[in-house]
Amino acid sequence: MAELNGSTILVVGATGGLGREIALALSAAGATLVLSARDPADLAALGVPGAIVPADLTDPAGISRLVEEATSVTGGLDGVVVAAGVVAFGPVTALSPATIDRLFAVNSVAPMLLLQAAHPALAASAAAGRSPFLLTLSGVVSESPTANLAAYSASKAAIAAFGAAAGRELRRAGIRIIDARPGHTETALSTHPIAGETPRLPRGLDPAAVAARIVRAILTDERDLPSTAFSPGA
């Protein structure tokens, strides 16, 4: 994908710290955006140009409706960025079944269902000679599962494995799956866990720099962004 002018991209989790930065970078590069998150008021306050389509990622029917609305508003999709996620801290023995269910529903199952729902639009984009993609953010924990983040690490490792296999399935169809695995990034995600208490964390990566690296990967047809890709100078 040599340029983003004329492309249409759905950004899921656009109100998150990293999602917003990715949306801003994509918009600055010329992409037309569809912005999605749970809260329509937060979406309206983003200040990023684009159509607004709220959605609850724990609802499979809502995911289908999201993609249907996104394609009806724009006429098609050339990319999907899945920047939504939830985190839970604490020993795995202390996590409730509901917490584990939600971690996997949002972090693992939702991106899978988004790919299924968006597949026809992405296939049409490929048939038109474009370079469609779906980007996930499994993060460094999918490479290095972390104590007191066991269930979170597992939910992220699951989507990394899914993307690797799905990418091989869809390569001939011209649909690219990209997985990005930045280290801890300075967003509000870690300060709003769905369970447990946030531990003291080292200074994280600059979300604007992480977003810029991700958009560069989209433009240069990369398929994998390991944690080392976010090192200074990478």
CATH number of the domain encompassing residue 132: 3.40.50.720
Let me know if residue 114 belongs to a domain: yes
Let me know if residue 57 belongs to a domain: no
Question: Is residue 57 within 8 Å of 29, Cβ to Cβ?
Answer: no
How many domains does the chain divide into?
1
Question: Which pLDDT tens digits describe the chain residue by residue (234 residues)?
Answer: 668 998 999 999 999 999 999 999 999 999 999 999 999 999 999 999 999 999 999 999 999 999 999 999 999 999 999 999 999 999 999 999 999 999 999 999 999 999 999 999 999 999 999 999 999 999 999 999 999 999 999 999 999 999 999 999 999 999 999 999 999 999 989 899 999 999 988 899 999 999 999 999 999 999 999 999 999 877
Which range of residues forms the domain containing residue 207?
A: 78-96+105-139+161-230
CA distance 203 to 1: 33
Let me know if residue 9 belongs to a domain: no
Let me know if residue 223 belongs to a domain: yes
Let me know if residue 88 belongs to a domain: yes
Cα separations in angstroms, 159 against 29, 66, 137, 147: 27, 20, 9, 19
Q: What is the DSSP letter of 38?
A: S
Q: What is the pLDDT of residues 37-88, one digit of tens each?
A: 999 999 999 999 999 999 999 999 999 999 999 999 999 999 999 999 999 9
Residue with tokens 């939504």: 84
Let me know if residue 47 belongs to a domain: no
